[in-house]
């Protein structure tokens, strides 16, 4: 599975897109800019995290973080990502819980017994890369075998290569 958090600038408007397992979509940026992108996907919906299908260990961690009711993006994205197996593009304002919307299902779908990369999250800045890494680690704190590694510029690449060689399931990086 691949997951991307993209930031686009249209004039003065900043848009953040969650793109899950995107494949086979040509001229994506052009279609988005023309506002003509359409994806036929039936969205599932959940009213609370207990009906999300998430692992009880994940639910325990997010409850401790104060997650009570999913935000609209989480209520639609989490069950859809978990159940559809299709590509998904979602758009939501800053501060609406997009990291949990894509991060919780990515964590859920990882096979913890296998230490190879199963999820890649791309983000536009080092700061966002580190923030998403920290959030994923908080969401998965009761899943001790989950390894999330940030990969970004401006720091010792040898340490990052060592972390990747030691094994991880999720890589969060900058292009």
Q: What is the pLDDT of residues 159-169, one digit of tens each?
A: 999 999 999 99
Distance between CA atoms of 32 and 29, rounded to whole angstroms? 5
Cβ neighbours around 137 below 10 Å, total = 17
Give per-10-residue mean pLDDT for the chain (175 aa). 42 44 46 43 69 93 94 89 78 88 93 89 92 97 93 93 94 91
Distance between CA atoms of 17 and 166, rounded to whole angstroms? 31
Give the pLDDT score at 6. 45
Give the pLDDT score at 47. 78
Give the pLDDT score at 32. 45
Model-wide pTM > 0.95? no
Q: Is 80 helix (H, G, I), strand (E, B) or coil?
A: helix
Give the pLDDT score at 44. 58
Q: Could you tell me which of 169, 161, 99, 166 has the C-alpha nearest to residue 136?
A: 99
């Amino acid at each position: 599975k691949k997951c991307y958090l993209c930031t686009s600038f249209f004039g003065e408007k900043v848009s953040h897109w969650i793109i899950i397992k995107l494949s086979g979509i040509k001229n994506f940026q052009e279609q988005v800019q023309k506002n003509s992108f359409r994806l036929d996907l039936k969205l599932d919906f959940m009213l609370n995290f207990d009906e999300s299908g998430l692992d009880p260990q994940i639910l325990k961690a997010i409850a401790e973080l104060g997650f009570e009711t999913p935000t609209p993006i989480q209520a639609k994205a989490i069950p859809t990502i978990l159940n559809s197996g299709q590509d998904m593009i979602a758009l939501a304002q800053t501060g609406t819980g997009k990291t949990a919307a894509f991060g919780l299902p990515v964590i859920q779908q990882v096979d913890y017994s296998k230490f190879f990369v199963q999820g890649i999250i791309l983000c536009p800045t080092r700061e966002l890369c580190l923030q998403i890494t920290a959030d994923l680690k908080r969401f998965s704190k009761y899943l001790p075998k989950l390894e999330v590694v940030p990969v970004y510029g401006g720091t010792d690449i040898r340490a990052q290569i060592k972390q990747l060689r030691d094994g991880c399931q999720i890589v969060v990086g900058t292009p």
